[in-house]
Amino acid sequence: MSFLAKVFGGKKGDKPPTTGEAIQKLRETEEMLIKKQDFLEKKIEQEIAVARKNGTKNKRAAIQALKRKKRYEKQLQQIDGTLSTIEMQREALEGANTNTAVLQTMKNAADALKAAHQHMDVDQVHDMMDDIAEQQDVAKEISEAISNPVAFGHDIDEDDLERELEELEQEELDKELLGVGPSPEELPNVPTTEIAKPTPTKSKANVRAVDEDDPDMKELLQWAT
């Protein structure tokens, strides 16, 4: 029986343990070896104390203590090597366990996707998408037909409407132009009385002849001329 078989308690022909079980066994073995390390370290300290105590008094007892210390130290080194091996093996198993879990999850997802696609056919999907596109076109045509105004009676000529509008605008413009002058009510009344004729003014020669002897008029005439 191999060492690992003894550790894991397996026998020839037995079903191998799972990765989880193997990892748990390796952790238990690690804990046991660590406790053994602590025990040996304490034994080494005790043997060193005995050797110091009997170094000058009992040389034989001191040498025996040092020999036991050497054996404990050798065991301690072996345990260190074993722990390193177990640690590497545990890490490898943990990595394998993680990979197994990941692969199992991916396989489950692939199986689920495959099962979902079993109820689908590529040609049927294409036909369905074509039907959807066709129905969308029909809906678009219906919307456009509904949104167009319904024509009652004969069609109306847009040019005739434009000409009619221009005529109406011209009529309004003519009315505004005719209304610029004053209305009959605003015109002034025609005078009914006879307008007095202007009194003829005296010419400068007559004034000079009449008023030539007046000193004031003479001065005024000189200033005016």
Per-residue pLDDT of the chain (225 residues; tens, 9 = 90+): 454 555 555 555 678 888 888 889 999 999 999 999 999 999 999 999 999 888 878 889 999 999 999 999 999 999 999 999 999 999 998 998 888 889 999 999 988 888 887 777 778 878 888 889 989 998 988 888 887 765 555 566 777 778 888 888 888 888 888 865 555 555 566 555 555 555 554 444 444 454 555 666 666 666 665
DSSP 57: T
The pLDDT value recorded for residue 71 is 95
| pLDDT score for 195 | 52
**Structural domain boundaries enclosing 69:** 19-97
Residue 91, in any domain of the structure: yes
Q: Does 5 map to a domain? A: no
- 41 in a structural domain: yes
The answer to whether residue 181 sits within a structural domain is no
Looking at residue 155, its pLDDT comes to 60
**Does residue 221 lie within any of the structural domains?**
no
Please tell me the predicted confidence (pLDDT) of residue 199: 53
pLDDT of residue 91: 92
24: in domain:
yes
Give the number of domains in the chain: 1
The answer for residues whose C-beta is within 8 angstroms of residue 5's C-beta and 6 or more apart is: 11, 12
Domain CATH code at residue 23: 1.10.287.1060
> E strands, the chain, where?
none
Assigned domain for 64 exists = yes
Which pLDDT value is given to residue 18?
84
Specify the pLDDT at position 117.
Answer: 78
Specify if 179 maps to a domain.
no
Please check whether residue 220 is in contact with residue 207, taking contact to mean a CB–CB distance below 8 angstroms: no
Element (H, E) at 25: helix 19-53
